[in-house]
Chains A and B, each alone.
Chain A
Amino acid sequence: DGGITQSPKYLFRKEGQNVTLSCEQNLNHDAMYWYRQDPGQGLRLIYYSQIVNDFQKGDIAEGYSVSREKKESFPLTVTSAQKNPTAFYLCASGTRISGNTIYFGEGSWLTVV
């Protein structure tokens, strides 16, 4: 089955701890993205990567870090510097063949306790 897999689905973090969310895709897509959704708000871009070993900050990158060592993988680390980390995190991927359409994973809920 081709798709985008995010894990874990639910994650609890204590204040002051870093946590890493996994995102894997087997669609052979070049570009990958991390978005965040808060209640009543749209999707806000955290980081994106158009190619392996390269990534750019999105609109709300502070307190987050990413890596893109493999085409299939784009993990997101939520650091202790992120002041309001409780949110629904969405990973997406896309390719030039799909035009400007991107496809999302199922999302990961992060709750700070």
Chain B
Amino acid sequence: DQQVKQNSPSLSVQEGRISILNCDYTNSMFDYFLWYKKYPAEGPTFLISISSIKDKNEDGRFTVFLNKSAKHLSLHIVPSQPGDSAVYFCAASDRTSGSRLTFGEGTQLTVNP
């Protein structure tokens, strides 16, 4: 079963506007969440993470929000830039799995100039 799900395969936004990427999870044991960015034919790069003891973490243009009751997290990018165009993966882990991550299917973000 898919424990981490990204329901939107793609998202298109205008440069300068906000991009919101969503992720849902089903495993209530997950306590650490990450977002990775991936360009074609390259390895994913780590963007930002959040522990379950927080509900928000911010790093520059990137903010991750966690809603534990809804088992939902989102990544906000503002302002969006054309260079942000990539596939974004949500990932999660729990105390027992450590750094063994479970990934979502990814969302292709396209930022139009």
A100 contacts B99, C-beta separation under 8 Å = yes
Q: Are A106 and B42 in contact (CB under 8 A)?
A: yes
Contact yes or no, B44 A33, CB < 8 A = no
Q: How many residues of A contact B (CB 8 A)?
A: 30
Q: Are A103 and B46 in contact, CB atoms less than 8 angstroms apart?
A: yes
* Distance A109 CA – B32 CA, assembled complex (angstroms): 30
**Whose C-beta in chain A lies nearest to the C-beta of B43?**
A104
Nearest chain B residue, comparing its CB with the CB of A56: B100
Contacts between chains A and B (CB distance < 8 A), count:
64
When C-beta atoms are compared, the residue in chain B nearest to A50 turns out to be B98
Provide the residues of chain B in CB contact with A43, threshold 8 Å.
Answer: 44, 89, 91, 103
A42 touches B42 (CB 8 A): no
Give the distance in Å from the alpha carbon of A43 to the alpha carbon of B98 in the complex: 17
Find B105's partner among A6, A41, A88 (CB 8 Å cutoff). Answer: A41
Sample (19) of A-B pairs whose CB atoms are under 8 Å apart: A6-B43, A31-B98, A31-B99, A40-B9, A42-B4, A42-B89, A42-B106, A45-B101, A50-B98, A88-B41, A90-B44, A92-B43, A98-B99, A99-B32, A100-B98, A102-B46, A102-B99, A104-B36, A109-B41
